[in-house]
Structure 1
């Protein structure tokens, strides 16, 4: 099939066409024939992951989308050496614009159209020749071994372009002249020679997603040039990544936390990139001389680090960092990439993992009809997803349930069968919000106790929320209402307090707490959340400020899209139809604001390669807040969030629990046989059965079942060596326990020194 090329595109590649037939790509002299076959087999596996292995009429829509994008790139191609540019909207004179990185991304799009079976340009010789001429142009004008960065983003030179370039060359491999291929890849010897080393910043050792991305580029260059040394280098670099880190700093932790840029939770952004690259490297190098071994930890990472944060195929925003502000990267994009990686790993995963993952993924794919997987994923992944959906032996898995405390990144996730609730905290260990490359300019409060409620509305967080929500009124936060300047590039704010963390019990209940020390304000507060089977109870105390400004606690700020849904109010409660009930538990009436808000993605992201557009978008919001007045001295709050509750359940909820304390020393409540408490320091709280006490800081959960008591304890402050817990009942013995839990007369002593905020659990007889 002949593709209609424009005259200028044809001329660009004319010099290349004549040599295509003579290119025979002999293997390097040092490689035996079997070695050359191994290189080619691994490269072809990679291409099949990108473009699919064969054409199927069922994929017509996706194929047409791939072809449409590639045609758009080809149609607008207009090389101007003097300018220089390949496309009029991407002048290449100034590397600081990032246009050279964008240009290589467009080349990848063109190459994908050429390599995808079923497109009109599939393996078209003139298209390949045009692409070769364009790659020559980019090498000569924007990216060769003799150029310098001139202050532009190091990432483009060492990761962005190498990844796009190696993908492009792999996809077009059978249509490219070998001598030019070597030339185009030559700059990688300078800019991406080693996955573990950052060329632009000597001394920096690459970690996490950056190392995984570089390993992919190095491995692909090895396959394309038949260089086994590069493949061994990439394999070894990835193998080091598979081991959990003990911290501090970047990497995956044993509790499932993932940190990038030293102090920021990034499971849903850099973590996804890591998983994607590692999964594809494992698949690409499987059964080759460079096969990656010792990959058991990758499977554990899926369970520990990703499953808790994926809600019906959406990646929770609480772990996406500054990417929440990027218009082209929504929660469903991160979710799709996670699913794609898991589907890739399923090809060879041990059955004990696969038997869990197949129903899990099938459930995500089945429930999320708001953004169908087929519209986002590459063809090969769509084929795997459709096979899974069509397999009658695999059930549709339910939503994940459980309570997860990620002590090493100050995040807590509470998941019930129909809803989920996440909490973002910060401390002297974990940054409050990252702003880099002019992204996330208004993310001031996203790490100050922001809460994320997930319900059956799978579009709440991705439907233009971040450019339209009031950034001064994020759910869960207590804020000084002052106006703020945009966050500065690279500025780190680590609140000067160790207090952030929590504890979980039985995968059904949880407690989270943080000490708020506001940025640039005298505002202080102690905030706690009690995570129950049907509700989240939020208690605040010690709310004080002295700057002459009003202080607010935001109970909710809900994006209801293009209309205000029904709202019912009563004495101290509010019910928002289709979302939740909100009950004030201390007699305070909430303030409710309903309004339309308009914003632009450009307002929150002006990055060189990610910047949003200037189109105004409008959404309706219902805001529920507690007004603490100007300069409160001893402010407090107590409210319940009741997802899926009816109006009647909301109105009656105040009597369902008993708040035992909400003071600067102790915040505690009880319901039925459950006791939950935050001891900010040594203290005692009276219960119906007697005093409950702790002689040091901790979060505590206790559940009594006749003569057996299950308890979980942690120290979010990381200051206590040992805490003595005096229960309301005499302790007869410790039946089961983690290390460091023992009976002490009528109490239980728990060693917490060195626990890094992680829980200790026990079962005691009373």
Structure 2
């Protein structure tokens, strides 16, 4: 099925926006219910207080430059040099001739939306360098004059109220106006009043308020787009000294116009925004915590900070939603300062915005929020950030951020009263965005699932051209000693048909999203998600209904402390092509010694180009990563050509331009080369009800892997069309995903559900979820006696007896986990 491409949703939170706009402080709370009573009063106060405009514009400039800092400090000196180097380069290339039609040769003609959008971004960088002490452009008259002339050229040839929108709406309504308003803030003392009035009038045409898409007035803005527009409108109001416009920006955060329907300070149950389970969705169906969610956090916080202690201060009491999101939404998907790729959407294809870049942006936003948040929040956030920054020595934070963010970070790093929080551990199910995260002290594993509710991928505007299988159960293994795994050329060089954790049809695929606009692909399956037990153990499942193929499969993952068991059943296809399940595809980087692969105690060749068929393999170990076990299980079929383990060492080449040709995010054409070790299970051509099982032991040594394979402390007790299940006897955990009513190890379920049970001396804990969201109630009969109930969710009832019965009202619970403790 080809990718549907509706009207453009914009180029996302590209480096365009984040490079120039600083993240923000939250110092007050704000909302919708109060606005009707107080809007006029606050607006009037703003009009009476002429000094408020100057105060807030100075504050806005400081958010861009960072204010005073010690240029002799090595970290600040490096950040200053980075700014100066980029600005000086663009200054040298700037066309200042009388007959010019564009500002830079590579952004010609200036009338093109992508070109004038990027031109404004470069001008903002030049203006920032001009306004920042210590650069080669600082306070130079010729630079200021050239910037003023450049802004006039862009207005006359490209961006002015007389032009209708064309191409990508984002450049007209967010990208260009944001950079233009920032630049005006920095140059306001040198800018003629007529010029400033012309620029604010242009922005008023294309971004009149935060509430609506200007080129589609019936479309309400949501999430990050609304937050970005609110900042733009506020800056326009301050520059124009218009109290009503500043109030309009403030009220846009709470969506006063529509009674709070699209407020950024509320939990949503559909569409864009924060969900109570920690999910964040943008573009209706895309898991986007790491880009759109991060920008919402930064832009909303920035505006609250900008307006604090002013006539337009935000006082919505529901800003706690933003505070809570730091630990509920963002912390689980940040690993040592990296933003997990499973929640970055099509941004994974951006060469200049990789996991460490988006992670650093999020850390910056969180630290800015901490500057004005209630102390109970701020203390925890600063400790989190300190731990993230200290642990990431692969891509150090100071080299990823500008001066304002660096100043906030150094204040925390140099403060002995702030402890560095250890890595987060636990199991997290984000049911509303089809993501699962399992975190241990030394590693984390993320599952990227999809369903008829959440897109398998988003592509468009030339981005994410090979993202076909990123939502088909891809497993991301993050190792604390290998932080470059996905950020070091991975997406430009990896075999996109062999992403870890996926079961795929080997058919050739065409590029997706190469045209204008963005679109998503949502598969037809209902099941995607799982349950969490005691915040520590988890089980997840996904029904695979492949795009453009007859391939069908039932996939499940069981995360039990330091072990992840992956099961597949019902793998069937009839197209005559080979079907594969990818166990691992590890980036071994461009240089360095080959990591040893050991299979059943025997070292394998380490040269590129080596491949092998490992028919009888029971375990494997990759140096520096961990172990892989291939256990027996009930119903396993070992016929010819079925479930064959294969291995490959290869050196793969690629270019970022191969996966991203976007107008402002296009990758370079520089060839890259990376070495990979791939392990996969070959199910043969057109398999019929094939299955698989493998175990991941992240961080385990070769001897520990061999011992685990012999002892099998986790036993597979079912792997078929009825149920997939494992049992860890030592810890007393039984975890089952029921695809239909059935009985496994004495545990019976009346219908589809995920169940985890942990028995101990003092009783048992039970967790139940309906990741398919198809049931109303589910009845689970336990394989042991129940005398009473210690604790139960309101949705759970228990019948005591020789075989306890747990009944769960799963209808309307959105796939969340229901828990009960019995004795």
For Structure 1 versus Structure 2, the TM-score category normalised by the shorter chain is over 0.9
- Is 2:653 the counterpart of 1:637? no
1:737-752 maps to which residues of 2 (within 5 A)?
Answer: 737-745=792-800, 746-752=804-810
| Contact preservation (8 Å) 1:79, 1:85 | no
Among residues 266, 275, 280, which one is paired with 2:302 in the alignment? 280
- Distance in 2 between residues matched to 1:576 and 1:680, nearest whole Å: 34
1:551 aligns with 2:579: yes
Q: Give the TM-score, by structure 2 length.
A: 0.87
Shift of 1:708: 1.0
- Deviation at 1:34? 6.2
Report the counterpart of residue 13 of structure 1 in structure 2: none
| Distance of 1:32 and 1:288 partners within structure 2 | 8
Q: CA deviation at 1:179?
A: 2.3
Counterpart contact for 1:83–1:91, Cα < 8 Å: no
Q: Which residue of 2 aligns with 1:679?
A: 738
Distance 2:139 2:698 in 1: 53
Greater mean alpha carbon deviation, residues 488-497 or residues 254-263: 488-497
Correspondent of 1:72 among 72, 89, 92: 89
Tell me how far 1:606 sits from its aligned partner: 0.8
Cα deviation, residue 565, structure 1: 1.1
- The answer to whether the Cα contact below 8 Å between 2:47 and 2:242 also exists between their aligned partners in 1 is no
Residue-by-residue CA offset, 1:716-736 (whole Å, 9 max, x unaligned)? 111111111111102222221
- Asked if 1:146 corresponds to 2:162, the answer is yes
1:121 is matched with 137
Match of 1:8 in 2: none
**1:63·1:118 contact (CA, 8 Å) conserved in 2?**
yes
Q: Name the SS of the counterpart of 2:433 in structure 1.
A: coil
- Distance in 2 (alpha carbons) for counterparts of 1:319 and 1:252: 13
The aligned runs of 1:184-333 (5 Å cut-off) are 184-240=199-255, 241-293=263-315, 294=317, 295-333=319-357
Deviates more, 1:545-554 or 1:383-392: 383-392
Q: Name the CA distance, whole Å, in 2 between partners of 1:333 and 1:605.
A: 17
Is it true that 1:335 corresponds to 2:335 in the alignment?
Answer: no
- Range moving further from structure 2, 620-629 or 570-579: 570-579
Q: Map of 1:203-602 to 2, 5 A cutoff?
A: 203-240=218-255, 241-293=263-315, 294=317, 295-455=319-479, 456-488=481-513, 489=515, 490-563=518-591, 564-570=594-600, 571-586=617-632, 590-602=645-657
SS of match in other structure, 1:590: strand
Tell me, yes or no, if the aligned pair for 1:239 and 1:292 is still in contact at 8 Å: no
CA distance in 2, matches of 1:41, 1:544: 66
What do the CA deviations read for 1:217-274 (whole angstroms, capped 9, x no partner)?
Answer: 0011111111111111111111243333333211111111111111111111111111
Given candidates 145, 149, 172, the residue that maps to 2:187 is: 172
SS at structure 1 position matched to 2:105: coil
Question: How do 1:639-678 residues align onto structure 2 when only pairs under 5 Å count?
Answer: 639-654=694-709, 655-671=712-728, 672=730, 673-678=732-737
- Give the Cα–Cα distance (whole angstroms) in 2 for the partners of residues 585 and 292 of structure 1: 58
8 Å CA contact retained: 1:572, 1:589: no
Aligned equivalents of 2:576 and 2:543: distance in 1? 21
Would the aligned equivalents of 2:110 and 2:154 in 1 still touch at CA under 8 Å?
Answer: no
Aligned equivalents of 1:284, 1:630: Cα separation in 2? 61
Post-superposition Cα deviations, 1:597-633, rounded to whole Å, max 9, x if no partner, equal 0001111011111111111100000001000011110
Aligned-partner SS, 1:186: helix
1:48: which partner in 2?
62
Deviation at 1:124, TM superposition (A): 2.5
Partners of 1:627 and 1:192 lie apart in 2 by 54
Q: Is contact 2:46-2:243 (8 Å) kept?
A: no
Q: Which residue of 2 aligns with 1:11?
A: none
Aligned to 2:217, the other structure's residue is in SS state: coil
Q: What is the CA-CA distance between 1:707 and the residue it aligns to?
A: 4.0
Q: Distance in 1 between matches of 2:110 and 2:409?
A: 43
Q: Deviations for 1:48-73, whole angstroms, at most 9, x for unmatched residues? A: 12211114121222112212222222
Show CA shifts across 1:515-564 (max 9, x none). 00000000000000001111110010000000000000000100010243
Q: Which runs of 5+ in 1 are unaligned?
A: 1-28
Structure 2 CA distance for aligned equivalents of residues 148 and 34 of structure 1: 36
- Cα RMSD of the aligned pairs, angstroms, is 1.6
CA distance, structure 1, for counterparts of residue 88 and residue 141 of structure 2 = 15
After superposition, the C-alpha distances for 1:50-97 in whole angstroms (9 at most, x for unaligned) are 21111412122211221222222221111467561111221125525x
Q: Give the Cα separation in 2 of the matches to 1:147 and 1:301.
A: 40
Bigger drift between 233-242 and 619-628 goes to 233-242
Provide the C-alpha distance between the structure 2 equivalents of 1:127 and 1:656, rounded to a whole number of angstroms: 69
Structure 2 residue matching 1:423: 3-state secondary structure = strand
CA–CA separation in structure 1 for the residues paired with 2:734 and 2:379: 36
Report how far residue 292 of structure 1 moved: 1.5
| Partners of 1:551 and 1:329 in 2: CA distance | 33
Structure 1 residues 243 and 138: CA distance shift in structure 2, 3 A: same
Q: How far apart, CA to CA, are the structure 1 residues paired with 2:821 and 2:176?
A: 55
| Cα deviation 1:629-663 (Å, max 9, x = unaligned) | 11110111111111110101111223121111001
Partner residue, 1:617: 672
Alignment check: 8 A CA contact 2:549 2:575 kept: yes
Q: Tell me the distance in 2 between the aligned counterparts of 1:33 and 1:101.
A: 32
8 Å Cα contact 1:692-1:727 kept in structure 2? yes
- In the other structure, the counterpart of 1:136 is 152
Instruction: Measure, in 1, the Cα distance between the counterparts of 2:163 and 2:372.
Output: 42
The answer for the alignment partner of 1:16 in structure 2 is: none
**Aligned partners of 2:376, 2:644: CA distance in 1, in Å?**
51
Deviations 1:415-445 (A, max 9, x none): 1110000001111111111111010000000
Asked whether the equivalents of residues 789 and 820 of structure 2 are also in contact (C-alpha less than 8 Å), the reply is yes
Secondary structure of the corresponding residue to residue 797 of structure 2: strand
CA distance in 1, matches of 2:248, 2:326: 25
The 3 A distance-change label for structure 1 pair 551 and 32 is: closer
Q: How far apart, CA to CA, are the structure 1 residues paired with 2:421 and 2:332?
A: 14
Comparing 652-661 with 636-645, greater Cα deviation is found at 652-661
**Deviations 1:449-468 (Å, cap 9, x if unpaired)?**
01100002111110000010
Cα 1:283–1:491 shift into 2, 3 Å: closer
Q: Would you say the 8 A contact 1:586–1:639 is kept in 2?
A: no
How far apart are residue 176 of structure 1 and its match?
2.0
Contact 1:502 1:714 in 2 (8 A): yes
CA contact (8 A) 2:88 2:136 kept: no
- C-alpha contact (below 8 Å) 1:404/1:504 kept by paired residues: yes
Secondary structure of 2:219's counterpart equals coil
Task: Give runs of ≥4 in structure 1 deviating > 6 Å.
Answer: 29-34
Alignment partners' CA distance in 2, 1:185 and 1:399: 46
Q: CA deviation at 1:493?
A: 2.0
| TM-score with structure 1 setting the length | 0.93
Partner of 2:258: none
* Residue 363 to residue 66, structure 1, CA distance change in 2 (3 Å): same
Report the CA distance between 1:586 and its aligned residue.
Answer: 2.5
**Alignment-derived partner of residue 700 in structure 1:** 755
The answer to which structure, 1 or 2, has the higher relative contact order (CA under 8 A, 6+ apart) is 2
SS of 1:242's equivalent? coil
Aligned equivalents of 2:246 and 2:631: distance in 1? 61
